[in-house]
Structure 1
Amino acid sequence: MKASLLKVLLLVLFLLSTTSIMTFAEEEIDIEDYAQNMQPGWNLGNSYDAVGEDETAWGNPFVTKALIQKVAAEGFRSIRIPITFDQRMAAGPDYTIEQDFLNRIDQTINWALEEGLYVMINVHHDSWIWMENGMETDHDNTVKRYRAIWTQLADRYKNYSTKVMFESINEPRFAVEENEQQHLDELNEAFYQIVRNSGGSNDIRPLVLPTLDTGQEPEKLDGLSQFISELNDPNIIATVHYYGFWPFSVNIAGYTRFNEEVKQDIIDNFDRVYNTFAPHNIPVVIGEYGLLGFDRHTGVIQQGEKLKFFEYMLHYAQEKGFVHMLWDNGQHLGRTSLEWADPELIDMIQTSWETRSALPNENFIYLKKGEKITDKTISFEFNSHTINQILLDGELLRAAEDYTVSSDAVTFHQELLASVVDPNQTGNQATLTVDFSGGFDWDIDIINYQTPLLEDAVGTTESFQIPTAFDGDQLATMEAYYPDGSIAGPQNWTGFKEFDYTFSPNYENRTIELKQNFFQEVNDSEVQLTFHFWSGEKVDYTIVKNGTSIEGTSGQSTPAPPEKDTEKEPEPKPDPEDSNDETEKEEDVPEGIDDEDKHLERNNEENEKNEKTEDSEAPNKETQTKEQTTDFIEEQRLPDTATQQYNFLFGGIILLVLGIGLFIWRRKKII
């Protein structure tokens, strides 16, 4: 009897000790330190969030361990895994998620944890596929389906390391504007209660909550701030997304350059976010960042202007203490090659994690063929750096003789420029590399060019291409007007059309294509076009639309004015009612910065065209997935969390002490 009582006593003491230890572990979590340990982050976009048969539906190959290892090796410390459940779950009332699919998520999470990465999982494109309208038209079933997802996920991952965090929903938006915040609060509340009451480590697991549309407008920030305040939970992270000042982000309305207005948009938005959450010690994660034009291709924004945007955006995000996570749908880090598509871009991104960089006004020098060559000056914002040296195609140049440096510029001398130019050739002649004491080292291309020549052409609204001799120049933007001066084409609040959506240069084929999107909103009429080039040249061209027939006639060119930007003064900001529709969802383009969420619907179109993703080499995708899952299940399940291990350790110590005490007590009794 005494032995039984003693066993019961030992069991009670063990349970009490583990409970106290778990409580101690909870008190040790510092959510602000946790968030900073996530810096910087990367998105596994267009894989598990793809809508279709499997993770390859949008053009990316199967996710591999090598990919996750590469992400960690590149210096990223967290990974966001977007997940779409829509086509991967049964109908109600159970809404059971496919086990094979969840096994793949398990595998990827565990690969990431093995590499020391923090992991964020979410409910992704479901937000617009069935929640956006469903919260109005089928409210109860929509909520039940959402609750079912998080009930299954919370239970499945409750014993995983707290380095795995849950994000309630991606870019939430709802059909009726006046009900949006109410719907988001309802879903966030359901998410919160399910997770916090599901056991394991979920009572302390960091949870990530978004603003409406993950936007930065005051009312959206205030809505989330109020909701988090009412939770009174120390382990909550706020999230927004940022894709830049919208006209610059897609190259429309003459915003071809990273100018003060684009820069100010970063400042204004990040300041609002900071002022909303920082006073309450709520960490902020920029769960996605990039440029919206990338959803068409990364060349929509000129290289130098693109690099300046990322440098300043990352600098200011880090100044405000925000975690930033690069959106990558496969166009940045090749999923098969494991190589970066744009080494300059990733170099700038990685450099900006540590320091600021000097910023030039331009990363090119255009010299017109046949004209006298003169000294050329590149202005710099040095940002506390100094120039170490300048090289020409790898060869060291001589300061004072080849170039001079002032307090805010570098002037390259006429003799140097003349020595590298072949008067009979156009195009890139040489590359100057400006090596700085810190930060990013800039390449400046020396380009010999002639005024581009556009030829007459005929075609249809479905296929119209202008034969073009670019002769070293590159296209910046295009204007379109009717003869009476009114604006022609889509986006009729601006004469400057959206790059690649309405027109696109093809330097290899030597053509400029006017796209069907442009002609769909052009009247049967003459339209006067002006093409603006990065050299500063402007070339006029006239088209006549008659039904589906198009006829084009070349016009006069305007020489580049000295020391002047290629773009016209920016047009007024867009009216959302007049903006073009280019998403699968067919909704109006929001005003200005509100358009950062558009990339999600465009990604499907981008990947269906296979413009920027790696081809899968798996002949049997279903078989491969099952084999990967089977091999992994037994050998790579996540071990117990650190908290659980400490529980067992301290429990063992307590049992040992009690055992020694029992032994001494029994010895005394025998004696």
Structure 2
Amino acid sequence: MKTKLFTFHLFFMMSLVFVAAQETKLTRISVDGNKFVNAQNETIVFKGINIADPDRLEKLGQWKKVLFEELNRWGANIVRFPVHPIAWRERGEEEYLKLLDQGIQWAKESGLYVIIDWHSIGNLRTGLFQAPMYDTSIRETLRFWYTVSRRYADEPAVALYEIFNEPTTFNNQLGSLSWSQWTEIVTDIITVIKANNPHAVMLVAGFNWAYDLTPVMHSPLPFDNIAYVSHPYPQKREQPWVPQWERDFGFVADNYPVIATEIGYMYPDQKGAHIPCLGDEEYGRTIMDYFDSKGISWVAWVFDPDWSPQLIKDWNYTPTRAGTFFKNEMLKR
């Protein structure tokens, strides 16, 4: 009996040590030149997965620890939480923060860093957006980041703060927006974040639905701990892709960290198939090789059977063809 009790006690203590090790290895991330680095100054290349909005997942009964354990089994080291303004308002700040707290804890237990993404699409200057779910304002955006940066200032697992998902004028249908106007807005947001969390690493997206970073060549943001975002879906450019990717966003990785917080592809017969996401494994292999050559981090979209381009077919986490591809890429890296 004593032997059994000793064995149980030893197993229990080893389990606690394992969980603690998973959490303690998530040291604070910072920017060093064109790299993300951890507290040991080791270079970190992120490879991860977008989940759906936590509000959606909770309503579906899918906001649970096993989701994060599955992301870990796929080989991810980071997970992106896309927080839609409409969900933030409808659930309410206090209740939504409870979702984020729980998700961050589950992510830590699975060895995953977290990106918190203010998931709007449109023109923050004019207050016009691509769809009602993305409607927000500069004031609400500032208030969101004030709240988030204060709450997670001492949480290293919340590695990256993605200021605004996809700035776009939708071919001027949403009004005009110059790079200087955009960086003026972004500067206000960054100032708030840095005042409340001096260690925060902030992600700044380019124009054309977060694809085009060409203005950074002449007008980078004058802050430390800044990284830049691109969403290079297959049909943002025609082949040959690589020289155009280099011109449009890849050159930034020579001087700053770059992370593609959305990439993915799907076939025309899949649910929700749409431009610019139509593609196949040729796109997948090409962009993985390009990212490897530039040290660019990436996060595949999206771990949901309904939102597209899908990585899974169902809530048993059965991978789609793209899901299988990205899973294999994460595991082999």
TM-score normalized by the length of structure 1: 0.38
- Contact 2:49/2:299, CA 8 A, preserved across alignment: yes
User: Which runs of 5 or more residues in structure 2 are unaligned?
Assistant: 1-26, 130-135, 306-310
For 1:288-317, what per-residue CA distance to the aligned partner results, in whole angstroms no more than 9, with x for missing partners? 01137679538889xxx7122212221112
Distance 1:265 1:60, change over 3 A: farther
Distance (whole Å) between structure 2 residues aligned to residue 295 and residue 185 of structure 1: 39
Alignment of 1:243 with 2:217, yes or no, is no
Aligned partner of 1:333: which letter?
A: I
| SS at 2:249 equivalent | helix
Work out whether 1:42 is the aligned partner of 2:40: no
The letter for the 1-side match of 2:289 is H
The question of 1:268 aligning with 2:261 is answered no
| Cα distance in 1 between the residues matched to 2:242 and 2:61 | 34
Partner of residue 106 from structure 1, selected from 78, 83, 101: 101
Percent of aligned positions that are identical: 18
Matches within 5 A, 1:290-329: 290-291=264-265, 297=271, 306-329=280-303
Letter paired with 1:86: I
Between the aligned partners of 2:257 and 2:87, the Cα distance in structure 1 is 33
Q: Which amino acid aligns with 2:118?
A: V
Say whether 1:206 aligns with 2:201: yes
The 3 A distance-change label for structure 1 pair 65 and 334 is: farther
Equivalent position of 1:148 in the other structure = 143
Quick one: structure 1 residues 225 and 287, their matched pair in 2 at CA, closer, same or farther if it must change by over 3 Å? farther
Q: Which residue matches 2:74?
A: 74
Q: Is the 8 A contact 1:214 1:239 kept in 2?
A: no
Change (3 A) 1:347 1:338: closer
By how many angstroms is 1:146 displaced?
1.7
Residues 1:197 and 1:27: Cα distance change in structure 2 (over 3 Å): same
CA distance in 1, matches of 2:226, 2:272: 34
**1:181 Cα deviation from its structure 2 partner:** 2.5
Residue 348 and residue 292 in structure 1: after superposition, are their counterparts in 2 closer, same or farther (change >3 A)? closer
Distance 1:227 1:241, change over 3 A: same
Moved over 6 A (4+): 25-29, 298-301
**Cα distance, 1:179–1:135 mapped onto 2, change above 3 Å:** same
Pairwise CA distance, 1:182: 3.8
Indicate which of 192, 195, 213 corresponds to 1:194.
192
The 1:27/1:173 distance shift into structure 2, 3 A limit, reads: closer
Displacement of 1:187: 2.5
- Give the Cα separation in 1 of the matches to 2:199 and 2:266: 35
What amino acid does structure 2 have at the position aligned with 1:123?
Answer: W
Q: Does 1:287 align with 2:272?
A: no
Letter in 2 for 1:213: N
Kept after mapping to 2: 8 A contact 1:286/1:325: yes
- Kindly state the Cα deviation for residue 216 of structure 1 after the two structures are TM-superposed: 4.1
Question: Does 1:134 find its partner at 2:113?
Answer: no
Q: Which residue of 1 aligns with 2:56?
A: 55
Contact 2:145 2:192 in 1 (8 A): yes
Distance in 2 separating the partners of 1:40 and 1:27: 15
Q: Match of 2:83, SS?
A: coil
Alpha-carbon displacement from aligned partner over 1:527-559 (angstroms, at most 9, x marks no partner): xxxxxxxxxxxxxxxxxxxxxxxxxxxxxxxxx
| Aligned twin of 2:117 | 122
Q: Do the aligned partners of residues 292 and 184 (structure 1) sit closer, same or farther apart at CA in structure 2, a change above 3 Å counting?
A: farther
Distance in 2 of aligned mates of 1:188 and 1:349? 32
Q: Provide the secondary structure at the position in 2 that maps to 1:328.
A: strand
Partner amino acid, structure 2, of 1:55: R
Indicate the residue corresponding to 1:85 in structure 2. 85
Structure 1 residue 172 displacement after superposition? 1.3
Instruction: After TM superposition, list the pairs within 5 Å mapping 1:240-639 onto structure 2.
Output: 240-246=230-236, 262=239, 264-275=240-251, 277-280=252-255, 282-291=256-265, 297=271, 306-331=280-305, 332-333=311-312, 336-340=315-319, 342=320, 344-353=321-330
Q: Is the 8 A contact 1:132 1:173 kept in 2?
A: no
Q: Normalising to structure 2: TM-score of the pair?
A: 0.72
How far has the Cα of 1:237 moved from its partner? 1.1
Contact 1:43-1:328 at 8 Å conserved across structures:
yes
Give unmatched runs, 5+ long, in structure 1.
1-24, 49-53, 91-95, 248-260, 357-671
In 2, distance between residues paired with 1:237 and 1:192?
12
Name the CA distance, whole Å, in 1 between partners of 2:291 and 2:66.
29
Quote the Cα distance in structure 2 between the aligned partners of 1:227 and 1:177.
23
Instruction: Tell me the CA shift for residue 69 of structure 1.
Output: 0.7
In the alignment, the residues of structure 2 paired with residue 72 and residue 273 of structure 1 have an alpha-carbon distance, to the nearest angstrom, of 29
Higher relative contact order structure (alpha carbons within 8 Å, sequence separation ≥ 6): 2
Equivalent residue, structure 2, for 1:534: none
Conserved 8 A contact 1:206-1:237: yes
What is the total number of aligned residue pairs between the two structures? 285
Relative to structure 1, the CA distance from residue 224 to residue 84 in structure 2 (aligned partners, 3 Å threshold; closer, same or farther) is farther
Residues 310, 27 of structure 1: alpha-carbon distance in 2 compared, 3 angstrom cutoff: closer
Once the two structures are superposed, what CA deviation does each residue of 1:333-381 show, in whole Å capped at 9, x if it has no partner?
Answer: 35631322x2x5444334445879xxxxxxxxxxxxxxxxxxxxxxxxx
Distance change (3 Å), C-alpha of 1:295 and 1:73? same
Aligned partners of 2:37 and 2:44 also within 8 Å: yes
Secondary structure of 2:219's partner?
A: helix
Q: 1:71 to 1:225 in 2, by over 3 A?
A: farther
Match of 2:156 in 1: 161
CA-based RMSD = 3.6
Whole-Å separation in 1 of the counterparts to 2:61 and 2:114: 21
Task: Please give the alpha-carbon distance, in whole angstroms, between the structure 2 residues aligned to 1:194 and 1:309.
Answer: 38
- In the TM superposition, what is the alpha-carbon distance from 1:132 to its structure 2 partner? 6.4
Q: Which amino acid aligns with 1:192?
A: I
Deviations 1:589-643 (A, max 9, x none): xxxxxxxxxxxxxxxxxxxxxxxxxxxxxxxxxxxxxxxxxxxxxxxxxxxxxxx
**Structure whose alpha-carbon radius of gyration is higher:** 1
Corresponding residue for residue 370 of structure 1: none
1:159 match: secondary structure: coil
Q: Which has the higher helix share?
A: 2
Over residues 408-452 of structure 1, what are the superposed CA-to-partner deviations in whole Å (9 max), with x where a residue is unaligned? Answer: xxxxxxxxxxxxxxxxxxxxxxxxxxxxxxxxxxxxxxxxxxxxx
Q: Is the 8 A contact 1:150 1:195 kept in 2?
A: yes
Change (3 A) 1:241 1:33: same
